[in-house]
Chains A and B, each alone.
Chain A
């Protein structure tokens, strides 16, 4: 294949994210790709940070995404995994283990799943009650220490990465961490009354997550911060934007100041339709918004709203074509999307969410191959 596979974090990805014109080709981005797909592409198990680096490099991406912080710890507890730090397989620190035990002891069995479960017996968050549903729970929660964050994986991936490959940690998720900890329904009820529990929890979560971001940014390996907060549902925001402006966005602004001072980009991932707060996100200084899920958002309308100085990353539907279509359908829609959105730059190609295990390998490959083929600038047939 003669498409430029070689990673180019600065010249390709950051050029697109910072909206500095057209790079050599449209960057490929994914928030996550299921392990089975990564291993099949690579032809071997992904057992070390070096394997991670090899996958993202050989597949044509310009960075390795890593998870860090509270949401990762809780997510690992819910999925009963051993690691709450990055994607390392290391043992948890005592304090991280205590936090996970606290969560597991309070969650109902239906919310404790393993990632190997397929066919829908997974929940990303407890839907009813989580493990912090009272001020007593909050007082008893054994907060891990952000200092427990193991930067060695970040450092080792950074050092293992070939020239041109960057690392962007997922960090700074505040709203979704609150939902994970309280459970979706409890968190919504507490937010309806803007209760003391909600206000205390979101303040403490923010304090923790900001410290994680500071630690990550202290590493030269960190090439950006990607906040993964789900703020929307299919037809609109989950909660009144007034709440977000009061309790969440001030923390985003702090993170933005931290990334700006390091001259690295700040990205936001949110499921659902977040059109109502797009002007806020522009004002907060986000460099990129992902994944512009076509089930709830129109990417051209989004472009008009945010203007030319915010990079859009997305928005190939996870359902039809990625999950349910044929490789030919995936290729056709990928090509159409690139031709529609890529001219001028400020765009990275991605699925409309991530690549879970139910996306057929052939469909992911068709998406990746097509985006590499038609994404070379200048875009033909645009």
Chain B
């Protein structure tokens, strides 16, 4: 098995130690960081998402795979930056103001990183203006999460803040969370809705016209 295939498999197996060691070995052998990312880590997380949607993987498997991916990505990030290689796109993800839930948001972040995006984690209880600020700082996609019906009602405030700041035309907005659905996303003028983390990554890539 080539090292790239071994890395792919380590991510699927959720083996963070092997993933990290394999990335280190690949770098030492002269493999370009962008090749490691594009030929092993991103395809592995694509496969994780596909298995999640086929109900072959569940939240635990997705979580350990994402952590394995992140352990490799942590080594690649400074090397990619030093080479002047930018992520395919930049996203900012946060849980809406008044809501402290973060595990769904964190899974979305991991899946987006696994899709090759640079992701700014805005955290939980995020005021609308901070989403707008993230767009001014280069985010091309904003993801807004809410777990409760009450806090879901605050998502339109974020879209309004993006409009008031004049940045709405330059950003795609995706929303998700337990009480949300496509009809709500359509009603508030979001660009997309995803029911889970895997589909959020597919949606983001589609909206940003990424492969």
Contacts and interface: CB of A to CB of B under 8 A. Distances in A.
A234 B148 CA distance: 13
B64 interface: yes
How large, as a class, is the contact surface on chain B? 20 to 34
Contacts of A358: 148-150
A100 B7 CA distance: 44
B60 to A, nearest CB: 4
A236 interface: yes
Contacts of B199: 235
A318 B179 contact: yes
Contacts of B147: 120
A351 to B, nearest CB: 11
Interface string B92-103: 000000111111
A367 B196 CA distance: 30
Nearest to A359: B149
B184 A121 contact: no
Contacts of B149: 318-319, 323-324, 358
A235 B178 CA distance: 10
A138 interface: no
A239 interface: yes
Contacts of B63: 185, 188-189, 192
Interface in A74-125: 110, 118-123
Contacts of B60: 188-189, 191-192, 239-240
Interface string A185-199: 100110111000000
Interface in A214-251: 233-240
Interface residues of A, number: 33
B170 interface: no
Contacts of B125: 121
Given A188-B63, A236-B55, A240-B58, A121 B179 contact: no
A323 B99 CA distance: 16
A238 B59 contact: yes
A379 interface: no
A237 B55 CA distance: 8
Contact of A188 (B59, B152, B195): B59
Nearest to A318: B149
B11 to A, nearest CB: 13
Nearest to A294: B181
A276 interface: yes
A118 B150 CA distance: 9
Contacts of B148: 120, 122, 358
B151 A323 contact: no
A320 B185 CA distance: 13
Contact of B195 (A110, A127, A234, A276): A234
B14 interface: yes
Contact of A119 (B98, B179, B184): B98
Nearest to A193: B64
B154 to A, nearest CB: 8
B196 A319 contact: no
Given A238-B58, A319-B179, A189 B64 contact: yes
B121 to A, nearest CB: 14
B153 interface: yes
B61 interface: yes
Centre residue among B147, B149, B195 by max chain A CB count within 10 A: B149
By Cβ-Cβ distance, the 4 closest A-B pairs, closest first, are A192-B60, A323-B149, A120-B99, A120-B151
Given A119-B98, A120-B147, A271-B178, 5 more contacts: A234-B196, A235-B195, A236-B55, A239-B60, A295-B181
Interface of B: 14, 55, 58-61, 63-64, 67, 98-103, 106, 125, 146-153, 178-181, 183-184, 195-196, 199
17 contacts: A120-B99, A121-B99, A184-B103, A188-B59, A189-B60, A192-B61, A233-B178, A235-B196, A236-B196, A237-B58, A239-B58, A295-B178, A295-B179, A319-B149, A319-B180, A320-B184, A358-B149
